[in-house]
Amino acid sequence: MKQNLNFNTSGETLAVSISGDFISYDNEETKIRLYSLARDNNIKRVRVDASALGQWDSTLVIIIFELKKIALQRQIDFEQQNFSENLSRLIKLAFSVDRKPAQPDTGSGSFLENVGMFGIDIYNSVIKGIDFIKKTWGSFVRSLAGHSFMRGVDLSFALEDCTYKALPIVSLISFMVGLILAFVGAVQLKTFGAQIYVASLVTIGMTRIMGAIMTGIIMAGRTGASYAATIGTMQVNEEIDALKTMGVNPIEFLVSPRMIALVITMPLLTMWSDFMGMLGGGFVGVTMLGIPFQKYWELSIDAISLDNFLVGIFHGLVFGAVIAVCGCYYGIYCGRNADSVGSATTKAVVSSIVWMIVMTGLITVSCEVLGI
């Protein structure tokens, strides 16, 4: 049956007659004239008759939807005559969806109410965080045992991103930190004529804590943010929902390779950071303080303590786990829009740095108690 879209005006009524099979209707000129008539101020009623309608698809639904939307905007009558049940239900469904998202309640409650809501939010966040850590730890153990959905290629890509690609920025920042430590130490040590001990100062400072902290901050801003943005974008694109639909655990598939990669590489990057910091301190000591290179090297080697070195490596190990958990957590629980991805990235970096400082305090106190 030939598709026909006939319409005419009778007084204040726009009468539309639909007949034939409406399949892939694409006569744009006819639709434009129809919508233009519906917007005419002289028209007070729109009547659509589908008594002779045969087969139809969504192109007809779009035409009727636009006509009814124009009628609602102009607050005029819209009549549907001889519509099939399916067509009527589709039109009704199209106008029953609330396209305006619910606005959050911005009303200010009492002080006690606000304190209570703040406490509930903190409690829910803690419970959700603990649950994520439990799932991540279980996934981590299963991955090490070879009983997870983690792919070797994903681990390889994560290792690639955390190793040689991170070396340039880690090297530069660590070299500058060692240089700064040497300058600051020399200012005070010159007072006592003991600037030769700059080598010991830089070596102890870098190996025990500064190398790990600077590497952690760099990797939080570089890799942790990347994890949050990547997984958050997958959440926006509903790729994580697709993984769940296929029976794939997203924690094992997405989080485990990233966590294993950071836990492996952070101690190695920390050692490299220690070396670059000592090199930066040596640059100041040799070129500006006049310390012979051989003497500076001997003092640096003498100052290296196995306890300090292992404490720094342990810091790096813990920081790797913290960065991976924070980055993946905010990626997994990201919202469904672009703004949520940006917010998740910011929160991942801030949370990583805060928790690294907290863990540094706990490790430092523990080492003090244990006499390390």
pLDDT over 60 at 101, yes or no: no
Residue 25 domain-assigned (yes or no): yes
Q: What is the pLDDT of residue 2?
A: 64
149 and 203 inside one domain = yes
pLDDT over 90 at 269, yes or no: yes
Q: What is the pLDDT of residue 106?
A: 55
Q: What is the pLDDT of residue 142?
A: 82
pLDDT over 80 at 193, yes or no: no
Residue 105 domain-assigned (yes or no): no
pLDDT over 60 at 98, yes or no: no
234 and 356 inside one domain = yes
Contact 14, 43 (CB under 8 A): yes
pLDDT class for 138, splitting at 50, 70, 90? confident
190 and 321 inside one domain = yes
Contact 137, 237 (CB under 8 A): no
167 and 290 inside one domain = yes
36 and 153 inside one domain = no
Residue 122 domain-assigned (yes or no): no
The domain boundary residue, chosen from 66, 96, 126:
96
Residue 126 domain-assigned (yes or no): no
Residue 66: which CATH number? 3.30.750.24
Q: What is the pLDDT of residue 115?
A: 87
Percent of residues, the chain, with pLDDT higher than 90: 17
216 and 270 inside one domain = yes
160 and 307 inside one domain = yes
- DSSP character for 2? -
Contact 252, 152 (CB under 8 A): no
Q: Which amino acid is at 6?
A: N
Owner of token pair 């990547």: 230
pLDDT class for 14, splitting at 50, 70, 90? confident
The two tokens of residue 51 are 């008594």
pLDDT tens per residue across span 103-121: 555 556 678 888 888 899 8
pLDDT tens per residue across span 140-162: 888 777 777 778 888 888 888 88
The domain boundary residue, chosen from 67, 96, 125:
96
Q: What is the pLDDT of residue 108?
A: 62
Q: What is the pLDDT of residue 357?
A: 92
Residue 63 domain-assigned (yes or no): yes
89 and 150 inside one domain = no
Mean pLDDT of 3-19: 81
pLDDT class for 238, splitting at 50, 70, 90? confident
Helix (H, G, I), strand (E, B) or coil at 16: strand
Computed over every residue of the chain, the mean pLDDT equals: 85
58 and 142 inside one domain = no
Helix (H, G, I), strand (E, B) or coil at 55: strand
| 91-125 b/e (C-beta count within 10 Å ≥ 16 → b) | beeeeeeeeeeeeeeeeeeeeeeeeeeeeeeeeee
212 and 151 inside one domain = yes
| Inter-residue long-range contacts of 63-68, CB under 8 Å, 24+ positions, other chains counted | 63/5, 63/25, 63/31, 63/34, 64/91, 65/91, 65/94, 65/95, 66/31, 66/35, 67/16, 67/34, 67/35, 67/38, 68/95
Q: Which amino acid is at 328?
A: C
pLDDT class for 333, splitting at 50, 70, 90? confident
Q: What is the pLDDT of residue 42?
A: 84
Residue 268 domain-assigned (yes or no): yes
* Alpha-carbon distances of 32 from 3, 9, 37, 38, 43, rounded to whole Å: 17, 15, 9, 10, 16
pLDDT class for 173, splitting at 50, 70, 90? very high
* Distance in angstroms (rounded) separating the CA atoms of residues 198 and 202: 6
Q: Which amino acid is at 226?
A: S
Q: Sign of torsion, CA 312 316 321 323?
A: positive
* Distance in angstroms (rounded) separating the CA atoms of residues 174 and 279: 9
Task: Please give the residue range of the domain that contains residue 251.
Answer: 134-370
Contact 341, 240 (CB under 8 A): no
34 and 147 inside one domain = no
Q: Report yes or no on whether pTM surpasses 0.75.
A: no
The residues, ordered by sequence, that sit 6+ positions from 104 with a Cβ below 8 Å of its Cβ are none
The domain boundary residue, chosen from 96, 123, 150:
96
Domain count, the chain: 2
Q: What is the pLDDT of residue 287?
A: 84
Residue 104 domain-assigned (yes or no): no
Residue 277 domain-assigned (yes or no): yes
Percent of residues, the chain, with pLDDT higher than 70: 96
Quickly list DSSP for 254-271: IIHHHHHHHHHHHHHHHH
Q: Sign of torsion, CA 19 24 28 32?
A: positive
249 and 295 inside one domain = yes
Higher local confidence (pLDDT), 250 or 195: 250
